[in-house]
Amino acid sequence: MHFSIPDTTEASAETNSNQQSYTLFNIHVNGVHHCSLRYSQLHKFNEELQRLLPTAMANIEQFPPKKFFSLTARDTEERRILLEYYLQSIVQNKYIITSSYFNEFFFNAQIETFSNEPLGNHQKINLAICLLNNHEIIIENLSTNDNKSRLLDACGLKMQLEEDFLSFFSLYFYEQKDNELNMIRPIYDFESPYLSFKQTKKSCEQSCIVFKKSYWNPEFDLQFVDDRRARNLLFIQAQYEIEQSRDLYSSDVYQQLEILRDNKSFKDYILLARTSRFYGHIIIRKCSMLYPINDAKKEKLCQCVLAIGNKEVICCFDADEKKKKENLIFKVIRIRCWKVNWTKQDMNISLEYLIKQDTLQWITIHTEHAPSISTFLQSIVDEILAKKSETTNSTVESVTPKMTSEKTPLKTFVGLATRTESDLERLNNNDIFDRGDGDDDL
């Protein structure tokens, strides 16, 4: 996600029969207005984080200090820039942004900001949720102030989905255009889906909220295919992903899938779809990057399509002569770190990638979806770490059988774990990073 403070608003309030003016800093998330806060509110937010999470706050940008005199326009602009740097460093720390305090603060800030708008505070509404086949389900008697968790629960109840399955699904903003759905971004825990939906529609009128699976590891599919309702959801998403990637990958599997679809053999469809090259990938179009890599004399900015999934980022290029798709594959375990760069002229994500043993290189992909790509990469890493932790714990239990009866048994059906280390700690200490012992250099 990307936090920014592009501008400020001057406001006033009456206190003791006096009119007091103050500055509101307009905080945007991925380019959309999320909330407006005073300096004093953000100052209290910082103090509370320092108290609750002192270790995580050690490497955060310094919070701009208080000033004892009235601020000039120049002082306000300087404070705006420093607050933006501060918030951008905050959201780089996984431990902070998954804390209950962070989520509650920015959720309440959004509610307070839009409380005076029509249907802005504790109003009952019906909200349409889309599936990836454009089918809508209506969630009734939802409050405008309900959070993402409440809406997810309501979706699960409406679709009669097993409670244990729900942690494998999530909510996303999509754009509906020409009867197609294209992802805008995930919905975060610190926002009201309804209020963010209203704001998103201001910049993307044809946006909608989509319910779909949130995991990357295709092995999880096998735990759902024998449940009718979960299987139907997987079938809808598999069908969507096949159609999205059909122009990127030539295969005889498509004809077989059509036969299975027409015969309503949904389980067999899912199992066969899992063999497709881009199954489980999110497709992002209208991207560009310098290509070829490692040849500064020949490289030029080329249009590409990104496919993210299965622990990899695939860049598909149009070869000039053969008009075939050419793939460049970046393995997530060889990405040491990444950063989102957002300016008025450009938006991109830079990956520090191990292109060969002992050689790291920054690779920049230009796309308006850079903040979402960052979120996807983080969730892939979290899933890898969760699986590694589960494997390690299982090994420990098998080696020490005496402790088994005293320990809570490991669940074989688990949701996506939340990592509690900061990004910096993960980059320096993690052992999922491939340091180049293989021979698959770019």
Architecture of domain 3-114: 2-Layer Sandwich (3.30)
Domain boundaries, the chain: 3-114, 120-214, 217-280, 282-379
Residue with tokens 């592009």: 6
* Spatial distance between the Cα atoms of 217 and 100, rounded to a whole number of angstroms: 27
The strand order across the sheet containing 18-29 reads 3-15, 18-29, 32-38
User: For residue range 100-135, what is the model confidence (pLDDT) as tens digits?
Assistant: 999 999 999 999 999 876 655 678 899 999 999 999
Q: Which of 68-72, 359-363, 403-407, 419-423 has the highest mean pLDDT?
A: 359-363
**Maximum mean pLDDT: which of 62-76, 212-226, 245-259:** 212-226
The arrangement of strands across the sheet holding 169-177 comes to 136-143, 124-130, 207-213, 169-177, 180-186
Reported residue count of the chain is: 442
CATH 3.60.15.10: does it fit domain 120-214? no
In whole angstroms, what separates CA 250 from the centre of its chain? 29
CATH number of the structural domain 282-379: 2.30.29.30
Say if CB 26 and CB 8 are below 8 A apart.
yes
Distances (CA, A) of 320 to 225, 284, 303, 434: 42, 21, 11, 33
Residue type, 30: N
* pLDDT value at 302 more than 70: yes
Within 8 A by CB and 6+ apart from 325, the residues are 247, 248, 249, 316, 317, 318, 319
pLDDT tens readout for residues 383-421 = 998 888 776 665 555 444 433 333 333 232 233 333 333
Highest mean pLDDT among 59-73, 123-137, 339-353 belongs to 123-137
Distance of alpha carbon 406 from alpha carbon 238, whole angstroms = 41
- Annotate 122-141 with b (16+ C-beta within 10 A) or e (fewer): eeeeebebbbbeeeeeebee
Nearest to 212 by CA among 326, 306, 309: 309
- What DSSP string runs through 215-250? ---GGGGGGTTTSHHHHHHHHHHHHHHHHHHGGG--
pLDDT computed for residue 90 by the predictor: 94
Is the pLDDT at 424 greater than 50, yes or no?
A: no
pLDDT for residue 421: 37
Say how far apart CA 437 and CA 442 lie, in whole Å: 14
For position 426, what pLDDT does the model report?
43
Phi/psi for 40 (5° steps) reads -65, -35
Mean pLDDT, residues 354-368:
91
pLDDT at 175 over 70: yes
Class of domain 217-280: mainly alpha
* Mean pLDDT, all residues of the chain: 84
pLDDT of residue 250: 79
More confident residue, 353 or 325: 353
Residue 150 pLDDT greater than 80, yes or no: yes
pTM above 0.75, yes or no: yes
